[in-house]
Structure 1
Amino acid sequence: MTASFGWPAAGQGVSFGWGPVEARALAPAAACVVVVDVLSFTTAVGVAVEGGTAVHPYRWRDASARAYARERDAVLAVGRREADAAHPWSLSPAALRAAPAPDRLVLPSPNGSTIAVEAAAGRATVVAAALRNRTAVAHWLAARGHGSAERPLAVIAAGERWPDGSLRPALEDLLGAGAVLAALRAAVPGLTLTPEATAAATLWDATEDPAAALRGCDSGRELYEYGYPQDVEVAAETDSSTTVPVLVDGAFQEAP
């Protein structure tokens, strides 16, 4: 049986999906798309925007990214291992927290950043969410009526990539999406979620220790093994932030 992707059945205003392909399928019918890439794009965006930096998402860290940053008079984030005292800006949330805050930062990422760029191609409002701001994002969405039949909402978990470039579903992003969805469901009684969105929210509600889950999942263990445990710890700071980054004119900025 061949799957047919598209907007869910009438009356279901909140959907959940994975990666850039499903973002492309769901975004055209959505009034708002929430991107979740806990380790580490959307956590890094939240930390940078809290510090007053406008964050430009970009698909790849290559020569075109350097040109894109120059055109916008922005700092280009480098790989974690390339960062140094002279250029401390990378995808590492812990490093961004410690670094001086630039006015503008280009933050390439093949997962969360790519989804943000895909979603921005349509009419939808694009929001960056993680565990740190999950309740703030949910309340912001609820206050604007997102998730209703009139203002449909798509929550997209970024996931990771296998060596062949295909999507690898990632527990941290499923938990992050579920955290936002659970908070939104609590804020809006009677909210109608697709079964996929309901399952993600239910997983979050059933997770006794989200921080331990982040440390123990594949992506968390990788960051610990590579020497970046603080990035996992920053990402695990559930509800520590009230900042809601919204994509405006190509850059994530704090929502009013």
Structure 2
Amino acid sequence: MFSQSCYECKVEWGRRGAREAAERGDIVIIVDVLCFSSTIVAALTAGATVFPYPPELDGNKYAASIGAEYILGRAEAARTGKPTLSPVTFNEEHRNQRYVLSSLNGAYCSWIASKVPALLIGSLLNASAVAVLADKLQQETGAAITVVPCGEMWNDARENEDRLRPSIEDYLGAGAILAKLSGGKSPEAEVCAGAFTSSENRLKELVWDSGSGRELRERGYEEDVRYCSQLNVSGIVPIMKDGRFIEGTENAWQE
């Protein structure tokens, strides 16, 4: 049976990868560069609190039950001036506000893996900081680390087809983290780290011209692509605690 279990650092794709990592009890790093992970980093930078939630469940009802606001879709949020699944929509006005954020990929994977020893949010923005904290947690807990690039979903998948569409921006984001982790890496993790290392000086160009980058640009969200393509500009590491993301420290997961 396929397994990377004998290695300290692994990489697994999407929802199934998140479930596999959770069942192993690994430290999990969710990577959804465009844009869930980057949005969580931006939200915490602004001082907001975000609760991830699966999109097929009633997010409005859940938000009301915890005294939070349900984040709207991009178009609707733009009309009402609300923050949305876009890192550039969060600012100081949202400090101390509570939000519920649903997405098909990053939020869903976070929900699936919410019971692991520690769940971190990684992106290009905070890759090195995530690796540093994950290494510390690994040393403290003895748990292995699985980095989960979330990928995208095909919109028109037919019956019996896999909907997961691997995306290079998430693979490069995962590789940026894996390249800094100190533990022994699976061959899959080594190749992922190598993809980042060989592309590091072209990251912005590659993300800009990737399928996901072009999709966002064609919808008018060029600033999101620019923002999310920045490497190691943030030291904030979101970590899940009681269903929400807080700024991570070495002891935050157990406080």
TM-score by length of 1: 0.89
- Shift in Å, 1:87: 4.2
Q: Take 2:210 and 2:116, find their aligned partners in 1: how far apart are those partners?
A: 34
Residue aligning to 1:170 = 167
Instruction: Tell me if structure 2 keeps the 8 A contact 1:88–1:99.
Output: no
Structure 2 spans left out of the alignment, 5+ residues: 250-255
- Shift in Å, 1:173: 0.3
Residue aligning to 1:233 = 226
Q: Take 2:119 and 2:28, find their aligned partners in 1: how far apart are those partners?
A: 5
Q: Take 1:43 and 1:134, find their aligned partners in 2: how far apart are those partners?
A: 11
Q: Which residues in structure 2 correspond to 1:16-31 (within 5 Å)?
A: 16-31=11-26
Q: Take 2:109 and 2:140, find their aligned partners in 1: how far apart are those partners?
A: 19
User: What SS does the aligned partner of 1:183 have?
Assistant: coil
Distance 1:91 1:146, change over 3 A: farther
Q: Look up the equivalent residue of 2:233 and give its one-letter code.
A: S
Instruction: Tell me if structure 2 keeps the 8 A contact 1:32–1:146.
Output: no
Task: Quote the sequence identity (%).
Answer: 32
Residue aligning to 2:106 = 112
Q: Could you give the per-residue CA deviations for residues 29-54 of structure 1, whole angstroms, max 9, x where no partner exists?
A: 13310000000000000000111111
Distance 1:139 1:71, change over 3 A: same
- Equivalent of residue 151 in structure 1, options 143, 150, 156: 143
Distance 1:107 1:22, change over 3 A: same
- Equivalent of residue 53 in structure 1, options 48, 51, 63: 48
Q: Which residues in structure 2 correspond to 1:185-200 (within 5 Å)?
A: 188=182, 191-200=183-192
Distance 1:82 1:96, change over 3 A: same
Q: Which residues in structure 2 correspond to 1:98-137 (within 5 Å)?
A: 100-120=94-114, 122-137=115-130
Q: Take 1:71 and 1:171, find their aligned partners in 2: how far apart are those partners?
A: 37
- Equivalent of residue 73 in structure 2, options 47, 59, 79: 79
User: What SS does the aligned partner of 1:33 have?
Assistant: strand
Task: Count matched residues.
Answer: 243
- Equivalent of residue 207 in structure 2, options 201, 214, 227: 214
My pick for the range that moved more, 80-89 or 165-174, is 80-89
Instruction: Tell me if structure 1 keeps the 8 A contact 2:47–2:94.
Output: no
Q: Look up the equivalent residue of 2:176 and give its one-letter code.
A: A
- Equivalent of residue 40 in structure 1, options 35, 40, 43: 35
Instruction: Tell me if structure 1 keeps the 8 A contact 2:32–2:123.
Output: yes
Residue aligning to 1:141 = 134
Q: Could you give the per-residue CA deviations for residues 214-254 of structure 1, whole angstroms, max 9, x where no partner exists?
A: 10100001111100000011101211100010000000110
- Equivalent of residue 181 in structure 1, options 175, 178, 182: 178
- Shift in Å, 1:146: 5.3
- Shift in Å, 1:76: 1.2
- Shift in Å, 1:95: 1.3
Q: Could you give the per-residue CA deviations for residues 184-208 of structure 1, whole angstroms, max 9, x where no partner exists?
A: 2xxx3xx310111111100000003
